[in-house]
Amino acid sequence: MKHTIYSTNDQNKIELTTALRNTVKKAIVAALDYQEIDFPVEISLSFVDNEKIHELNKEYRGKDAPTDVLSFPMFENGEIEYDDESDEPCAIGDIVISLEKAVDQAEEYGHSLEREAAFLAVHSVLHLLGFDHEVSEEDDEYMKESAEDILSSIGLRRDISDSVEGSAKIPVKEQKTMFISLIGRPNVGKSTLLNAIVGEKVAAVSKKPQTTRNRITGIHTIGCEQYVFVDTPGLHKPKNKLGEFMVNAAETAIPDTDAVVFMAEVNDSIHPQDKEIIARIKKAKLPAILVLNKTDICNKGKLLDNMAKFNELYDFVSIIPASALKGENIDIIMNELKPFLRNEPWFYPEDMITDQTVRTISAEIIREKLLRLLDEEIPHGTAVTVEDYEETEKLIKIRAEIYCEKDAHKKIIIGKNGETLKKAATFAREDIEEMTSKKVFLDLWVEVKENWRDSELNMARLGFKKED
């Protein structure tokens, strides 16, 4: 199930790293899953210091002291009313964590700040769901036990004391890993699935086909298992050199992986490209899972029909109907991949979710906003490069260049009174701030580079260079 966790950093005493924020969010989602919450939930999480939590305690709890965590449930006694008809996630409450206090407690209990902050978040989710350690001993016992289970499920075990950068470390000999390629026609939802699995936006998503232009790695580490997903551009018939580059990036990704997640749309018919993909999987002799995506908008007859037709084409490990957008059946996809893990050390550190730099992801986020704001033909002729990138403790300054193919396109991208460009900049800035927990200054420029999609040289300059 896909849950939405909004987080804000309202303190500046302790550095809130992306890894720490992600661990806490992961713990919240793990707690919701542990409680088998089967509808989408929204939670607001804020990190504060002792002074702020003291104030909140005074104001709302009549308590004159700084505590470690505060929970503000939306529903009393966990009696959550979720409207099944609604497409919106159900806001169940707010969690406020004092990072300053968490640092002290982590030291006191001899474990990492990640584990302490994750513990406080899990404890708080259980409160939002109606458990209360202050009124019942039974609840107190249950909350402690389940918090241990939940933290173990995301690899934050208590029994491991030697930690790397504060996070629990799995001994190398227990580590397992695998590489998985995400392949399919344009627009079937590959990047949406990647983002859902890693829990952060690492790949641009838009309703226009051919959004992804290069391979994008998304890493999901859970317990002793590390899954490295390689998202690829949708396979299509190339119309220019950029298209050829994209198709090549996708096709050559397959043999480098241990398994393939082949995605198709549940409502669609089987296309020649789907058959080509199957031929490549056969050639590489790789286990493949077929994901029939977008079940949230599907017709049941079509689903069964497609399952049968695809089943005739290849001996898939399994065929899984799923909704990447709603987070449905992603747990089943992950379970099906498990048997193909290799007993080999991890490739990436535990808290890494992508091998792309913030600089590269920022350029992709800007392009995503343009794809979403602009009509048809123009977006496909745009490329974004980050020309200047300066990062300090609290601030990131980015100057990015948007390339397009015609003067007329430049005018459209800028928009009346610069409005389109301003909107793209605002949306992109918000996403980059959310990703980095830093304030972002974003300066966007537009330049014309005619027919760059057909020029190897220009493409190479814009970062589309074939690997040798």
Ligand X SMILES: Nc1nc2c(ncn2[C@@H]2O[C@H](COP(=O)(O)OP(=O)(O)OP(=O)(O)O)[C@@H](O)[C@H]2O)c(=O)[nH]1
Q: Which residue is nearest to ligand X (CB)?
A: 234
Residues in binding contact with ligand X, number by CB under 6 A: 24
- Options 167, 191, 221, 273; binder of Mg ion; rule CB under 5 A: 191
β-strand pairing of 176-184 with 167-168: unpaired
296 binds ligand X (CB under 6 A): yes
Q: What does 141 interact with, of Mg ion, ligand X, none (CB < 5 to 8 A by kind)?
A: none
Residue 7's binding partner out of Mg ion, ligand X, none, with CB under 5 to 8 Å set by partner kind: none
Least distance from C-beta 196 to ligand X, angstroms? 9
Among 46, 192, 214, 382, binds ligand X (CB under 6 A): 192
Select from 50, 71, 211, 293 the one that contacts Mg ion (CB under 5 A): 211
Q: Does position 409 bind ligand X by CB under 6 A?
A: no
Decide which of ligand X, Mg ion, none touches 221; Cβ closer than 5 to 8 Å per partner kind: none
> Shortest approach of ligand X to residue 266 CB, angstroms?
9
Binding of ligand X at residue 306 (CB under 6 A)? no
Question: From the CB of 61, what's the least distance to ligand X, in Å?
Answer: 41
Q: Which residue stretch of 50-58, 205-213, 342-350, 459-467 sits at the interface with Mg ion (rule: CB under 5 A)? A: 205-213
The DSSP call for residue 262 is E
Number of H helices, E strands in the chain: 15, 15
150 Cβ contact partners less than 8 Å away, ≥ 6 residues apart = 27, 30, 31, 34, 122
At 240, list the tokens. 């220019």
Task: Name the segment binding ligand X (CB under 6 A); options: 59-67, 159-167, 187-195, 375-383.
Answer: 187-195
- Least distance (Å) between residue 368 CB and Mg ion: 10
Quick check: 218 binds ligand X (CB under 6 A)? Answer: no
| Residue 354 is a binding residue for Mg ion (CB under 5 A) | no
Paired tokens of 90:
């159900």
In the bound complex, what is the minimum distance in angstroms from residue 184's beta carbon to ligand X?
Answer: 6
Under 8 Å between Cβ of 124 and 146: no
Region binding ligand X by CB under 6 A among candidate stretches 102-110, 322-330, 410-418, 429-437: 322-330
Closer by beta carbon to Mg ion, 115 or else 190: 190
Nearer Cβ to Mg ion, position 50 or 195? 195
209 in contact with ligand X (CB under 6 A): yes
The token duo for 247 is: 């198709």
Measured distance CA(20)–CA(115) in Å, rounded: 9
CB of 202 closer than 8 Å to CB of 361: yes
Distances (CA, A) of 88 to 38, 44, 92, 181, 258: 13, 15, 12, 31, 37
Contact between 176 and ligand X by CB under 6 A: the answer reads no
Residue 74's SS3 state is coil
**Which of the listed partners (ligand X, Mg ion, none) does 360 bind, with a CB threshold of 5 to 8 Å by partner kind?**
none
Query: Which x/- pattern over 220-249 shows residues binding ligand X (rule: CB under 6 A)?
Result: -------------xx---------------
The alpha carbon torsion through 194, 431, 5, 68 (nearest 10 deg) reads 130
Q: Which residues contact 309 (CB under 8 A, 6 or more apart)?
A: 270
Residue number with CB closer to ligand X (101 or 190): 190
Q: Does 382 bind ligand X (CB under 6 A)?
A: no
| Residue 138, phi then psi, degrees to nearest 5 | -60, -45
Burial (CB count <10 Å: 0-12, 13-18, 19+), residue 399: middle
DSSP 8-state secondary structure symbol assigned to residue 223: T
Alpha-carbon distance 295 to 325, whole Å? 10
Buried b (16+ CB within 10 A) or exposed e, 351-378: bbbbbbebebbbbbbbbbbbbbbbeeeb
Q: Is 188 in the site for ligand X (CB under 6 A)?
A: yes
> Is 42:91 a contact under the CB 8 Å cutoff?
yes
Full 3-state SS string of 84-101 = CCCCCCEEEEEEEEEHHH
Q: Which residues bind ligand X (CB under 6 A)?
A: 184, 186-192, 205-207, 209-212, 233-234, 293-294, 296-297, 323-325
Q: Which residues bind Mg ion (CB under 5 A)?
A: 190-191, 211-212
